[in-house]
Amino acid sequence: MKIVVLDGYTMNPGDLDWQELRDLGAECEVYERSSAAETVSRAAGAEIVLSNKTVLKRAEISQLPRLRYIGILATGYNVVDLEAARERGIVVTNVPAYSTASVAQTVFAFILEHCQQLARHAEAVRAGQWCRSQDFSFWLTPLTELTGKTLGVVGLGRIGMAVAELGHAFGMNVLANSRSPKPAAPAWLKQCDLNSLLSNSDFISLHCPLTEATAKLINGKTLALMRPTAFLVNTSRGGVIDEDALAAALHAGRLAGAGLDVLTQEPPAAECPLLTAPNCLITPHYAWATYEARQRLYRVAVDNIRAYLAGKPQNVLA
């Protein structure tokens, strides 16, 4: 049996060991990255193909007659044509919930950086500003305490709930909006409609999937509902925000700031309006990528293959 990993670098840039995967197949080839032109030739002859972002749509699948299993090295599955896979009887699996803790802590890294301005103050100290100070202490910006502030969480899946729990632990009031009410939610979490959440939150964290209903959910109209002192965080999908509208709001001072780990286009084009927007922290879609989260991702991906080989596939999408 031949196993091919089309783009292993993102999950494993060298700090994880591929041996556990290699032990499952008589032959195992791992590629760091595969272009669209290389995908079919590299996957040719493989019964099992693993992909993170390399596309396996109908055109590619139709050219891989030996393919029996596609393992997605992520939770999202838009890179694979599930209908084409079903027609061929190809099993498709993903890895859910591996990055919950990692993403949730990134949300609060954004929030705490906004409140404390750690990088700015550390740079000031390194530049000698504290050495020259007449006082034992100084601060360059207003500092904000989270206790008593209101956190609005849009989307109450695993990550959204983890963020809500962290907010509660910080002493924040927590509002939440979800596609469907969560009757088992704790008493401290107040569920409300989206407009109420946007209007009443000091911090807003987005955790919704990108669908027709959520595309550009944050736009000129919804941004106008937010307090000018509010801080917006997005670790879900870039497409849930109208980037032009958010950039305009930041430039006009209608929003205190934003922390974004995702953008509509990744990597972004140089002309992306948010790259030059004030008070906008952007990280390179790395909230999921702690060592521990990648370990879990790898472990579940290997377990998915073991389960498939044992005739009891798990985490099946198709």
User: Could you tell me which of 101, 80, 216, 118 has the C-alpha nearest to residue 165?
Assistant: 101
**Backbone phi, then psi, for 3, in 5-degree steps?**
-115, 135
Report d(CA 288, CA 290) in Å as an integer: 6
Residue in the block written with tokens 């205190």: 256
The active-site residue, picked from 38, 266, 292, 306, is: 266
Asked about 60 being catalytic, the answer comes back as no
The active-site residue, picked from 114, 237, 294, 296, is: 237
Number of neighbouring beta carbons within 10 Å of residue 276: 12
User: Could you tell me which of 83, 49, 86, 81 has the C-alpha nearest to residue 64?
Assistant: 49
Report d(CA 150, CA 32) in Å as an integer: 43
Report d(CA 85, CA 69) in Å as an integer: 9
Q: How many CA atoms lie within 13 A of 224 on its CB side?
A: 3
Asked about 114 being catalytic, the answer comes back as no
The active-site residue, picked from 22, 42, 227, 285, is: 285
Asked about 207 being catalytic, the answer comes back as no
Token pair for 124: 């000031």
Report d(CA 274, CA 238) in Å as an integer: 11
Report d(CA 9, CA 298) in Å as an integer: 12
Report d(CA 121, CA 108) in Å as an integer: 18
Q: Which residues are catalytic?
A: 237, 266, 285
